[in-house]
Each structure stands twice: as structure tokens, then as C-alpha cells.
Amino acid sequence: MSSTQTLSSLSICGRLTLNMHSLNNEGGEGNQILTRQVTIVDKQGEISTVNAVSGDMLKHIQAEHLWQVSHEQNIKLCSACNNFNANRITASGEFVKTFDRNTPDSEVLDLLVSSCAIDDLEGILVTNHNKNVPRKSCAEFGWLVALPNNSKTQNYFHVKYVSDAGSAQGDEEGANIGQNIFHRPANSGIYALVTNFDLFRIGYNDISKKYVINDEARTRRYRAFLQSILYTFIKPKGAMRNTQNPHIVDFQGLISTSSRAIPAPTLSPLNKDYVSEMEKITSSLNTIENDAISIMAFSSLSEFSEKMASLINGSQPYKLKEN
């Protein structure tokens, strides 16, 4: 791959096989932990109810990896994101002091994008000083949806017993002692994944239509962004991983990239013909913009890692023409 190749967008669609995980818990009822399920329809109109992991969970995993990479590589973060505050830059006193109610939205975005890689890449809604300034995320994650008839949830009896050892505090309300009995799920299945990443928007002010940071800073954020995407599937963080770390058995699918304004295509692997369909879509799009779209197939997590590493080491972010 040429070191001068530029990528404007990247999409991943594939099938991820996970065993014995609890990434899709949605709360509890009594002593039962509940598994998140969704209802889907296939192209024949058949309706199925299946296990699913929210895109919010996947994006949180990716954002945490980005935070770790940014720390390691000394990429600029605001004070709130430096501590991985969920409120991001809106909780940064330094940022809030730099504008007021009368500051144009474009200037607020300039300040945001230049101040923090996480807010630039992951997005945030700035509501300080009664304003309403959105920064759209460069990352888009769909739900991780189990293929019909290819997932299973089992519930396991679990008990936690802690003796008070004769402590006088044993009868205190709320004390973490005694026997707690509950049932918790473990899920296994083949899950369909769809994601998209707008790489051209790194460092870009969507209002002024100009880049706020220089090319070197954009490239550093770009590489960290791609690393965090790769690490999301190497180590999917989430609920109950202390005792139900997912068994990642397989990952196969397609990485599609675009080198121009035409978007990198994706198609849900809920469609059994998604690979051949993606190949046909790519051929069609390349008749519009010659060789703008590329697809790379992978049949395992190791191949996915290899393809992503080649992009991290051998490409740079596309740059729009500025006003």
C-alpha cells in the first residue's frame, strides 16, 4: 500500500462470533439479570427476536481505547476527557471560560476541535451558556445483532456469601454481608456488525467548512482513531468481564475504504449474500469514481488485525477543499 494513499471514510461489516459473554445486559428484575433483545426482519419479511449489543456499548469501548492511545501518544485532550469524564469538554472549566452566550457557534466549534481529540472524533453537544452546539461524531456504530437461529442465552445460578464473622454490624441495613442469590445470563452467538467512520472530518469545522488543526495533528489523531477501532475488537470491554470475559471465536467480513468524497459502502451481514453484494456495490461505485472504493476481505481476527495495521501504517486522512 502506498504511503501517500488517503482515506476519506472507512466501513466495517462482518460477523463476530462471541461465546459466554454478558455485553448486552440491560438491567435486572428482582434477582434476575436481563438480556437485551431486539426484533428484526429479514429481506423475506420474516420477523425474529434475537440477542443484541447496543451500538452505545461498542462506541464506549472504542472511545476508551482512544483515550488510552491518546494518553500514551501525548495527543491533546481537554481536562475533562483527560479524566475520561462522560460529560467530556462541557465539564472542562478552561473550555467553558473561553466563550459565552454571544459567541458564534462556528467559533465554539473551533475551540472544541482544537482543544480535544476525543471531542473532535467522538462528538458532543455543547449546552454551556444556554447554547446548543453539536459536534457530530466521526464514528458510527450500529447494533451488534445476532443472526436468527445462531444465538443462545443460558441463565446460571449465582450466589455470593460473605460472613459477618460475628460482627456487631451484621444487622446494619445495606451491609454487604449475608447470602445473595441471583441468576445471571451468558450469551453465545454469531453477531452481525456494521460500522462507519468519517475520516475526512477529523479536525474539520462543519460550520465554517475549514480545518482547525494542522495536517500533522490530523494525522496523529487519524492513526490513534484507527488504532482504537482495531483494539475495540481485540479487547471488547463491557459488563461482567471480570468473570465473563467474552470468548472471541471468529471474526470475518469486509473492510471498505474510500479515497474520495464518495462514501465507503456497507451492508448488513444479516443478509447472507452481503459479501457478493458488497463486491457488486463496489464495482458500481468505481464506475462513478474510478478506483475510489476498495474492499479488503478478512476471514479471521488475525487477518482483520493485519488489514487494519496496513491502513494505520500506510495511509493518511483525506482533506476536503476548504472555503
What does the pLDDT look like over 91-124, one tens digit per residue?
999 999 999 999 999 999 999 999 999 999 999 9
66 found inside a domain: yes
Q: pLDDT band for position 155 (50/70/90)?
A: low
pLDDT at 178: 57
Q: Residue 60 above 60 pLDDT?
A: yes
pLDDT at 323: 72
279 found inside a domain: yes
pLDDT, greater one: 175 or 272 = 272
Q: pLDDT band for position 9 (50/70/90)?
A: very high
Instruction: For residue 74, give the C-alpha cell.
Output: 501525548
159 found inside a domain: no
Q: Residue 177 above 70 pLDDT?
A: no
pLDDT digits (tens, 9 = 90+) for 20-47: 777 766 555 555 566 778 898 988 899 9
191 and 15 Cβ atoms separated by less than 8 Å: yes
247 found inside a domain: yes
Helix (H), strand (E) counts: the chain: 8, 16
- How many CA atoms lie less than 13 Å away from 152 in the CB half-sphere? 3
> Is 222 strand, coil or helix?
helix
Q: Residue 2 above 70 pLDDT?
A: no
Q: pLDDT band for position 181 (50/70/90)?
A: low
pLDDT digits (tens, 9 = 90+) for 194-250: 999 999 999 999 999 999 999 999 999 999 999 999 999 998 765 555 556 678 889
d(CA 180, CA 221): 46
Q: What is the mean pLDDT of residues 149-174?
A: 60
pLDDT at 170: 47
> Is 54 strand, coil or helix?
coil
Report strand pairing: 144-162 vs 6-7: unpaired
- How many CA atoms lie less than 13 Å away from 183 in the CB half-sphere? 10
Q: What is the mean pLDDT of residues 72-84?
A: 96
Residue 254: beta bridge partners?
Answer: 13, 297
pLDDT at 232: 94
Question: Per the structure, how many domains does the chain have?
Answer: 1
pLDDT at 244: 62
114 found inside a domain: yes
Output the average pLDDT for the chain. 88
Q: Residue 66 above 70 pLDDT?
A: yes
160 found inside a domain: no
Q: pLDDT band for position 166 (50/70/90)?
A: very low
Q: What is the mean pLDDT of residues 298-310?
A: 97
d(CA 173, CA 175): 6
d(CA 257, CA 8): 8
Residue 225's nearest CA partner among 81, 98, 59, 101 is 59
Which residue range is the domain that position 198 belongs to? 6-149+186-317
67 found inside a domain: yes
pLDDT, greater one: 11 or 241 = 11
Element (H, E) at 85: none
261 found inside a domain: yes
pLDDT at 24: 64
